[in-house]
Structure 1
Amino acid sequence: MASNFKLKRWQDQVILLLGLWLLVSPWALSYPAGSPQRLNAFVSGLVIAILAAFDLYKTYFWAVAVNLLVGVWVAAAPWVLRLAEQRIAMWNELLVGIAVVVLALWELRTDPELHRHWLGVAA
């Protein structure tokens, strides 16, 4: 049963690691102190990590869907916040955001428990 849990939840584990990385990346990559990009990475990383950890405990469609939306935001944030000239931060957020989106979509597509939740919401 434990190995089934690990195989079934690997996307959540990777999303959790990505969220934790995004949370600490402003310090690791020296984002400018007090910048919107630094605050955005910290808050977005915190949300992603908390939702992924929560989803590891019990699967909820809404948690995966919110992480998907936060991933889209993280990938778009450098342009929305007009901070794309900060190349390291831009690439970090773009890659993390895309990875979160891909993993969340993968999980939504392949996790039978999420399909049951989705069908329950639609009914």
Structure 2
Amino acid sequence: MATFDRTGWGLIEHRRWEDIVTMVLGAAILVSPMFGETTGNTTMVAATAIVGAAIVILGGLEQIFLRRWEEFLLLLGGVWMMASPFVLEYAGTLRNWHIALGAAVAALALLQLWQDRNRDLED
């Protein structure tokens, strides 16, 4: 798939499947509190919803405009999802899911950053 370059006039080659997988992972993060024990932890639910929605939006933006800052934000979102069970102090299967989903988002962001290392992209 082609994506607009930084001027908006030319097209550059971009792997669309990575953005789709990113959006699916973000959607999984977004709905994950519905499948775990969340009673009394509204902070975790709100943080998960915000990060999940941000990952979905960033994945969609990457399909249109390819920018490095989107991938850095995805990396931060993935790292936050891995750290959130320890910072917000929750456990159970939801903790394991958030660590796994966060690791997948972070790994995909690192892959995209590595693939784009030689491209002349706007930071």
Is the TM value for this pair above 0.5? Answer: yes
User: CA offset at residue 101 of structure 1?
Assistant: 0.5
Q: Residue 116 of structure 1 aligns to which amino acid in structure 2? A: D
Among candidates 62, 70, 76, match of residue 69 of structure 1:
76
Structure 1 residue 41 corresponds to structure 2 residue 48: yes
TM-score (structure 1 length as normaliser): 0.80
After superposition, the C-alpha distances for 1:51-82 in whole angstroms (9 at most, x for unaligned) are 11111112111111111111101110100112
Structure 1: 4+ residue segments shifted above 6 A? none
Higher strand proportion:
2
Find the aligned partners of 2:62 and 2:38 in 1 and give their Cα distance. 29
> Taking every aligned residue pair, what percent have the same amino acid on both sides?
30
Counterpart for residue 119 of structure 2: 115
TM-score normalised to structure 2 length: 0.80
Identify the residue that residue 16 of structure 1 maps to in structure 2: 23
Partner of residue 87, structure 1:
92
Partner of 2:8: none
User: Any gaps of 5 or more consecutive residues in structure 2?
Assistant: 3-11
Partners of 2:59 and 2:22 lie apart in 1 by: 6
Aligned to 1:104: 109
CA distance 1:78–1:34, shift in 2 (3 Å): closer
Q: Which has the higher helix share?
A: 1
Q: How much does 1:7 deviate?
A: 7.0
Report how many aligned residue pairs link the two structures. 114
Gaps (5+ residues) in structure 1? Answer: none
CA-atom RMSD, angstroms?
A: 2.4
